[in-house]
Amino acid sequence: MSRLTIFLARLIGLFTVLLIAALLLRGSSMVETLIADRPLMLTYAIISLAIGLAMILGHNVWSGGALPVVVTLVGWLILAKGLLLMFLTPEALTQFVERMHYGEHIYLYVAPSLVIGLYLTWAGFAAPTSRGL
């Protein structure tokens, strides 16, 4: 298993688990506040686009087991999110979140991300590593 795969699994896994914990503690108001702030959403879109591209260019691995493939899929999902946020109008994004009833169903929406984050954290730290990582 490559050192990059293990590093990205640990990074993405821990980041996701901590972010989901914050979302669950602060509730949907954090997301609703973020969506209402147009400059912040543009910044978020640009950062997501850059991270997604970096992950795809640096780790586009479709073989070698579940962990490298999941890390690659997460990179593609981050890129898709960045593109969606970049091209979706603020009004359309607000309507989309309102139709989802995000506040009422927050546990349903964060559950897949939490499962992926927990898997990446576990697999990243359980993977055999060479010295220095």
The pLDDT value recorded for residue 133 is: 47
The pLDDT value recorded for residue 132 is: 52
Kindly report the backbone phi and psi dihedral angles of residue 2, in degrees, each rounded to the nearest multiple of 5, phi listed first.
Answer: -75, 150
- Return all residues near 15 (Cβ < 8 A) that are at least 6 apart: 117
Yes or no: say if 12 and 67 are a contact pair by the CB < 8 Å rule: no
Return the CA Rg of the chain: 16
Band the pLDDT of 12: cuts 50, 70, 90.
very high
pTM of the model: 0.88
Name which of 10, 8, 21 is nearest 113 in CA terms.
Answer: 21
Query: Is the pLDDT reported for residue 130 higher than 60?
Result: yes
Percentage of the chain beyond pLDDT 90 is 64
